[in-house]
Amino acid sequence: FVLTCFLCFYLAATVHAAGSNDSASGVVATGSFWAVCFCVHRWPGLVSRKNSDSFYVAFMVGQGVVACTFPNIAVMVQASCIQSLFTLLMSACCFRLRVAVTSTIGLMVARLVTVRLRFPAGPTEASQVSPFLLWELFGTALLLGCVIVFRMRELDFLRIYFGEKALRQSNIAMTRLLDLICDATVELNSELQIVRPAPKLTAMLVLDTRPSVQGKLLWDFMPDEDDKSRFESLARSSLRDLS
C-alpha cells in the first residue's frame, strides 16, 4: 500500500518536473489511485475474486488515460517505466492471467497510438518515435515475461501451501478417527445388549458420561431405521459365525 502511494506521487512529480502542460491531470490521477488504494486497504472485502479482474481492467484504463496527457516522448518514456512497475505490482491482484496479458498489451497499444497521433511531425519527434517503438516492444515483452513468471511462482506456492494444509487436515482427521475407533470399543452379550461401554461411547450416545447405557441395545440409539436393521443383521450374523 505504501509503495503504491509512493509510486503515484512519484509519477505526478515526474510529470510536473518534465514541464507538463496538464499537470492537474496527473494530480487528479494520483489522488484517484491513492483513494482506491486506501479503500482497498481499509476494507479488504471490497475486492474479491469475482471483481478483482474488473478493478485491474479499470486500473489499466486509467493508466491509458493518463498516458494521453503526457506532453512529449521523453516524458512518455519515463512514465512508461513507472506504469510498468504499476502493472507488475497490480497484476498480482488479477485473477485471470489472460486478462493481465491482454490489458498489458492494450496499454502498450494505447501509448503507441498516443505517440502516433500527438507527435506526428517535426524532426525531433520523428527521430524519437522509432526508439520509443523499440523500447515499448522490448519493455512490454519483458513485463509480460515477469508477469507470467511471477504468476506461475505464485500458483506453485499456493498449490504447495494448500496441498500441505489439506494433508495436515487429513492426517488430523485420520488421527481423530482412529482415536475414536479405539476409544469407542463396546462389548455386547449374546442378546446384543451393551455390557461394558467405553466412557466416550456413552458420551456420544447420551451426551453425558454419567448415565449408564449398560444393558441397552446399541441400535436403539440409531435414529435411522435402515442403520438399525443393518447393524442388527451384522451383529447376529457375527454371533452365528462365532458359534
Q: How far apart are CA 142 and CA 198, in angstroms?
A: 67
Burial of 186 (0-12, 13-18, 19+ CB in 10 A): middle
Extract the C-alpha cell encoding 142: 519483458
What is the overall mean pLDDT for the chain?
71
In one letter, which amino acid is 32? S
pLDDT band at residue 12 using 50, 70 and 90 as cut-offs: low
**Average pLDDT over every residue of 101-118:** 84
Phi, psi of 123 (to 5 degrees): -65, -35
- Of 26 and 66, the structure prediction assigns the larger pLDDT to 66
Rounded average pLDDT over 208-228: 65
Q: What pLDDT is stored for residue 19 in this prediction?
A: 47
Q: How confident is the model at residue 17 (pLDDT cuts 50, 70, 90)?
A: very low
pLDDT exceeds cutoff 70 at 213: no
In this predicted structure, the answer to whether residue 99 has a pLDDT above a threshold of 80 is yes
The answer to whether the CB of 53 falls within 8 A of the CB of 94 is yes
**What is the phi/psi pair of residue 187, to 5°?**
-105, 130
Average pLDDT over residues 6-31: 54
* pLDDT tier at 38, thresholds 50, 70, 90: confident
The residue with greater pLDDT, 206 or 82, is 82
Range with the largest mean pLDDT of 108-122, 134-148, 185-199: 134-148
Q: Identify which of 89, 88, 84, 95 has the alpha carbon closest to the alpha carbon of residue 155.
A: 95
Of the pLDDT bands very low, low, confident and very high (cuts 50, 70, 90), residue 2 is: very low
Q: Report the alpha-carbon angle 111-89-71, nearest 5.
A: 30
Query: Which grid coordinates are listed for 162?
Result: 494448500
**pLDDT mean over 209-229:** 67
User: Does the pLDDT value for residue 143 go beyond 50?
Assistant: yes
Residue type, 48: S
Pick the most confident of 142-151, 169-178, 185-194: 142-151
pLDDT value, residue 140: 85
Q: Which of residues 214 and 14 earns the better pLDDT score?
A: 214
Is pLDDT of 25 > 70?
no
Residue 11 has pLDDT above 60, yes or no: no
Give yes or no for residue 91 having a pLDDT over 70.
yes
Alpha helices in 43-122 (DSSP H): 52-67, 73-90, 97-118
Q: What is the mean pLDDT of residues 116-129?
A: 61
Q: Output the pLDDT for position 232.
A: 75
Q: How confident is the model at residue 177 (pLDDT cuts 50, 70, 90)?
A: low
pLDDT at 78: 79
